[in-house]
Structure 1
């Protein structure tokens, strides 16, 4: 096996340094933001009763963590988000397959997809509450917000698959089921992961909106409760945990993407 050239090694070192520099700049930007926030509150440039401050957030976080309520609400939101992602991705893939399988169904349902995509989903909240109750209406909101976008993105990905390969398989007598399993779905893995990245954010938005409207637990409930009793520390801690949860979920999807790329290169 040939050793890499010195020029290539210098290039790799420069890329690693650049990556470390990017991470350092990100952390510094966050640290500067928190420092300015803390100083502005201490020097009374802003009203800490309305905005809280980082030092108070730490105190509130540990107080809530000690009594166990914080992790209970975090787990409720995480569970609802994961369930919403699973439901919307599964339903979205099945619907996109139906549209690919039957051009007639695609042409009939396409106007309804456009209308549903433009419809403000928050208007469906009271309906879900009546139909599903205060607990399961959160899942309804999560799926309602993410499902249509998921279907549209996956269907668009299916259309980008090379028609030459499908025609070649059809010429050899392959059925649609064989084309689906052997060409369409394997070739759509990168697009499915891209859709999953979008789905994470949309589902989390749907979960929080559902918790705002009807839930009695979860980070969205804590935000509404904290606003009602004027405890901004509780609101800010919940928002920080939401940001952390979104980062973790997005990181998991990125790891899944890396795994898919390594598997694809290994097989190719």
Structure 2
């Protein structure tokens, strides 16, 4: 008599996480990365100050972290730093908003008439190929040295990006869905609002990160050319006096404003396009 032999294979146990994996996950958290970034920045500043104190680095040519801090404190105490920062921030946000809205509207409007789109395409390409900073003297001549000229220069930078992104997104909208709506009796206006605009919104919103930086660049460049206020005016005036510490102080405030605007835009994008964050996390976890 034969007896059936059954054997059981024990399930393989999951390998225990190694010490290196635990260390990597600990430092790869938000707090861990932030701590490392602050540590790197502190080490760079300390090495910079040490080089200045030891005479290895020229304080006149490079500046000094200690003197930059004093310049920041002095500007904050008399209020001039906050006034200049507010002026530049307001110009950048206004230029970003007007340029993005106007450019997106024009880009979507080009979808309505393929003939007009083909007619204007060479002009759009030509304008896009010109560095917008070159428009600075013309904008100052047209709009003067006040707020409007800085906003206009920021708009010239942001609008073309939004226009191209919106038009390309409108052209790439789902043709099958458009055909289906046509067979159901939808007119061009209905297709525009039910297909073109919704499908183009992700591309338009994705330009926010680029355009907020361009808005800041436009504002600062306008202040470089001609202005009595703003961080660009502060940096330009200090550079003419060879006051490099004040120049660094102005650059530091621009960096703070840029970081702040970036995270605000990032928050808005995640709220408006929540699936992009899920896709990003899924990609990172592969």
- 1:56–1:233 contact (8 Å) kept in structure 2: yes
Q: Does 1:119 align with 2:119?
A: no
Instruction: Give the Cα separation in 1 of the matches to 2:27 and 2:42.
Output: 21
Q: Any idea what the Cα deviations from partners look like across 1:134-173, whole Å, max 9, x if unmatched? A: 0121112111122212211222222333222222222222
| Residue of 158, 169, 181 corresponding to 1:146 | 158
- 2:169–2:199 contact (8 Å) kept in structure 1: no
Alpha-carbon offset, residue 176 of structure 1: 2.6
Residue of structure 2 equivalent to 1:229:
241
Residue of structure 1 equivalent to 2:99:
88
| Residue of 176, 183, 187 corresponding to 2:195 | 183
Alpha-carbon offset, residue 186 of structure 1: 2.4
Instruction: Give the Cα separation in 1 of the matches to 2:266 and 2:127.
Output: 29
Instruction: Give the Cα separation in 2 of the matches to 1:59 and 1:185.
Output: 51
Q: Does 1:196 align with 2:208?
A: yes
Residue of structure 2 equivalent to 1:18:
28
1:215 is paired with a residue whose SS is coil
| Residue of 128, 131, 148 corresponding to 2:139 | 128
| Residue of 92, 95, 109 corresponding to 2:120 | 109
1:173 is paired with a residue whose SS is coil
1:134 is paired with a residue whose SS is coil
Q: Which has the higher Rg, Structure 1 or Structure 2?
A: 2
CA pair 69-205 structure 1, distance change in 2 beyond 3 A: same
CA pair 154-19 structure 1, distance change in 2 beyond 3 A: farther
Q: CA RMSD in A?
A: 2.5
- 1:84–1:142 contact (8 Å) kept in structure 2: yes
Given the two structures, how large is their TM-score scaled by the length of structure 2? Answer: 0.83
More helix by share: 1
- 2:150–2:222 contact (8 Å) kept in structure 1: yes
1:188 is paired with a residue whose SS is helix
* Runs of 4+ residues over 4 Å off in structure 1: 14-17
- 1:193–1:253 contact (8 Å) kept in structure 2: no
Alpha-carbon offset, residue 177 of structure 1: 2.6
- 1:154–1:195 contact (8 Å) kept in structure 2: no
| Residue of 65, 71, 78 corresponding to 1:60 | 71
- Unaligned 5+ residue runs, structure 2? 1-13, 278-286
CA pair 262-124 structure 1, distance change in 2 beyond 3 A: closer
Residue of structure 1 equivalent to 2:90:
79
Equivalent runs, 1:17-56 vs 2, <5 Å: 18-20=28-30, 21-56=32-67
Instruction: Give the Cα separation in 1 of the matches to 2:196 and 2:109.
Output: 13
Alpha-carbon offset, residue 200 of structure 1: 0.9
| Residue of 266, 272, 277 corresponding to 1:254 | 266
- 1:38–1:54 contact (8 Å) kept in structure 2: yes
| Residue of 215, 232, 256 corresponding to 1:220 | 232
